[in-house]
Structure 1
Amino acid sequence: MQTLKSTSRARILLAIFSASALAALNKTGSTCTVTPLATGADDTPQILDAFKQCGRDGKVVLTEGLFNIGQVMRTTDLNNCDIEIHGTLKWSSDIQYWLRNSISVTYAGRSTAWQLGGVNISLRGFGKALFDGNGQLWYDQNRNQGNQNGRPISLTLCMKGNSSNVHVSNVVCHESGAMCIGSIGSNPSQADIVENVYYDNVTAYHSSNAAWIKTYSGQGRVRNVTFANMRFDNVNQPIYITPCIYGSSGCDSSRLSIEDIRWVNITGTSRYNVAAGIHCSAAAPCKNLSMENVNITPMKGGTAKWLCSNIQNQQSSGIPCTESCPANWPQQLDGDR
């Protein structure tokens, strides 16, 4: 009898513990609110459960606090979903797990620890959301090695192939590539399409580029992209377009089209004396590029250079072109030109 009582108590305690753990996910109507597990345990299961329950016609809210992420997350079947992140997501230090299990993406053999996607979704961070990838461990792992698979990359919001109807706003970037389209067109057998993208209210500090488009000479198009209300500080080459990124071929034979691109209300400083390097393919000149109220000055003073080639509407574009832009113009500069 005593054994039965002890077993019953154990079951009761287990039930109480389980209920306490599950209480970190609270569903009210179509809103799932997730709070971090106080034990420091892996928060991934409850986050994935929240997306499962509220990822379609609902809202997922991650409250303030530290969420420990110990597993890959694939949340790609979302529909009409609002996502709010008020806290920090910290990926575990198990480098070998991430190398073995990260999710492959279509772009250039890359992989990711969180694949997020769907139709009509919004992601808001309210100036508080933080993604902590345990970067120092990766830096130490890849010391004295360049361009390693799985290496940490500073946050850059770049639209890859087949991205459309995207609105990005209220972003501050430090030492990154900031806002870009691409790379696309790397697979000659697959058309990459990016259209209807709006970047708004973005600040870029000490970045490589800030409002730019990079493609290979494959198939596809970039259409209807706006970079608006942006501020640059010490950016290597703020505005950049190339049809042959990373020295690839097809600088003037590429037929991947770039059209209806706008830069509006942009101010800031370039690290060197080139504000923009725009080289469009001679076989498919850029169409309907425009600039309005754009003012970029070199940090060291003087007048900025604006390099332009193969812009179909150059005279009416508002781009203050000063000289031609050579093919294979570099993405990053190492000094004044």
Structure 2
Amino acid sequence: MAFGHLETGAEVHHTITVEVAILEKASGDDTPAILSAFTDCKENGHIIFSNTTYHVGQVMNTTGLKDTDIELKGTMVWSTDIPYWLNHSLPIGFQNQSSAWHLGGENIHFFGHGYGTLDGQGDVWYVYNNGTSNLHGRPHAITIWGTTNSLISGIRFIKSQMWTSTIVRSENVEMSDIYVNNSCSAETIQAVGTGRCNVNTDGIDTIYANNVTLVRWTVESGDDSISMKQNSTNIYMANNTFHKGLGYAMGSIGQYPAEFEIIENITAVDTVFYNTGYAGRVKSWTGITTGYPPNGGGGGIGYARNISFTNFTLHSVDMPWYITQCTSYNGVQGGCDTSKFKIDNMHWGNTRGTTDRNYVASLQCSGAAPCTGINIFDNDLTVETNGTKTLGYLCSNVEAPQGFNCTGQAPNTSG
């Protein structure tokens, strides 16, 4: 680890270049050196990871930074010590979710230059998880925590352990030019056997986040490509490309009994989808509380409002537009008309491409709080297999639909 100073006028910026030679550390764990660099450069600092491999075997909490620049020119590889991570990953305060790395502060600039990489060695996790949803202690790769006025750009995420990234209790944050590939190896697919091998490998989730910009993302995941969860407001997304996975997801939300939560003022434009489950969807829990989070709950209240999805290009998307208020776990079914979580003012359209089925939308809204202001417009779609026009709109409890006519009943599925 080399120390130096970069002087610019009257200001002195500490510069730490973390250059790790394997022979210098018998343990092979670079975490102490990395944490030391962040401590020494916590304010007005510049931390440079050289073009080499850094091994991370412990949790990292590098929050409280101020006016700090970070350059990742190499690769950070997380250990596969599953018992350690299950017992030590850092809580994020939502659904018992946790993270391997908390990064946060004011006026942070984190640059990967298009090649700096976080490698979670996820195949080990995908096999261990074996299709389980929300395994307690399985860490997110990174959480941007308590952060304002910051930019993260040009980072590559490979085989994340669970959710790739989360933005939590943060405001005025941009993440741009991000590459995420959470695909499974052939051996992992064979070992897991059924269902999605890489379940819960979202590209990014926002929680208690305001004024967030997510642009020029490329995501291959086994779950939500990009997801807004509780109290996400004023989110702008553009020029993203999704492979497989589930596209844009608003939710799930309404999981915590009687808690008021919102998702509001969300805009996504100019996005390309390849073989995704959906283009855009809203997903709420039923109004019946069953079990406890992360894999139980329901009965939350609030609203999702002013969500605009436009100028999309679809390649073999299963169901472009989707709403469900049927989400429940623990094997419980039904209760799809019980949610009091309100869905209002959706503007989804100006979309071209192909679908897997003859449905433009499936909109299962709750009888206890019917959807209003649903405007689905200008969708020029054809069925991939035969080239016929995609025409179907399945609806339940949609009041005064705009731009379309319902052609059938929406199924009670949790999405």
Bigger shift: residues 188-197 or 104-113 = 104-113
Give deviations 1:148-191, integer Å, cap 9, x for gaps.
61263332321111121222333322222221111111111322
CA shift, 1:319, in A, is 3.5
Structure 2: runs of 5+ lacking an equivalent:
23-29, 139-160, 163-199, 204-224, 288-299
1:300 aligned residue = 385
Answer yes or no: is the 8 Å Cα contact 2:97–2:134 preserved in 1. Answer: no
Structure with the greater relative contact order (CA < 8 A, sep ≥ 6): 1 or 2?
Answer: 1
Q: Normalized against structure 2, the TM-score is what?
A: 0.60
Paired amino acid for 2:301: Q
2:43 aligned residue = 53
Change (3 A) 1:325 1:199: same
Distance in 1 between the 2:12 and 2:269 partners? Answer: 29
Which of 312, 318, 321 is the matching residue for 2:399? 312
- In the alignment, does 2:346 pair up with 1:261? yes
Structure showing the higher strand proportion among its residues: 2
Give aligned pairs, total. 304
Distance in 1 between the 2:384 and 2:108 partners? Answer: 39
Distance in 1 between the 2:13 and 2:239 partners? Answer: 24
Aligned ranges 1:86-235 → 2 under 5 Å: 88-115=75-102, 130-143=117-130, 146-147=132-133, 149=135, 150=138, 152=162, 153-154=200-201, 155=203, 156-216=225-285, 217=287, 218-235=300-317
Distance in 2 between the 1:252 and 1:109 partners? Answer: 27
- In the alignment, does 2:369 pair up with 1:284? yes
Distance in 2 between the 1:174 and 1:85 partners? Answer: 25
Paired amino acid for 2:318: N
Change (3 A) 1:111 1:134: same
Change (3 A) 1:80 1:35: closer
Give deviations 1:55-95, integer Å, cap 9, x for gaps.
9xxx9997877554444344666799998877655333222
Bigger Rg over Cα? 1
Change (3 A) 1:66 1:284: farther
Distance in 1 between the 2:41 and 2:240 partners? Answer: 24
Answer yes or no: is the 8 Å Cα contact 2:282–2:324 preserved in 1. Answer: yes
Paired amino acid for 2:89: S
Change (3 A) 1:123 1:45: closer
Secondary structure class of the residue paired with 1:53:
coil
Give deviations 1:235-292, integer Å, cap 9, x for gaps.
3323211112246554222211111222243223222333321111122122222234
1:15 aligned residue = none
Answer yes or no: is the 8 Å Cα contact 1:277–1:329 preserved in 2. Answer: no
- In the alignment, does 2:315 pair up with 1:329? no
Give deviations 1:296-318, integer Å, cap 9, x for gaps.
3322123332212222230xx22
Bigger shift: residues 124-133 or 161-170 = 124-133
Which of 21, 27, 31 is the matching residue for 1:39? 21
Change (3 A) 1:279 1:249: same
Paired amino acid for 2:90: I
1:245 aligned residue = 327
Distance in 2 between the 1:122 and 1:167 partners? Answer: 19
Secondary structure class of the residue paired with 1:278:
strand
Structure 1: runs of 5+ lacking an equivalent:
1-17, 332-337
Answer yes or no: is the 8 Å Cα contact 1:229–1:264 preserved in 2. Answer: yes
Bigger shift: residues 129-138 or 33-42 = 33-42
Change (3 A) 1:134 1:110: same
Distance in 2 between the 1:92 and 1:202 partners? Answer: 34
2:291 aligned residue = none
Change (3 A) 1:97 1:185: same
Structure showing the higher helix proportion among its residues: 1
Change (3 A) 1:44 1:71: farther
Q: Normalized against structure 1, the TM-score is what?
A: 0.72
Distance in 1 between the 2:35 and 2:283 partners? Answer: 37
Secondary structure class of the residue paired with 1:272:
coil
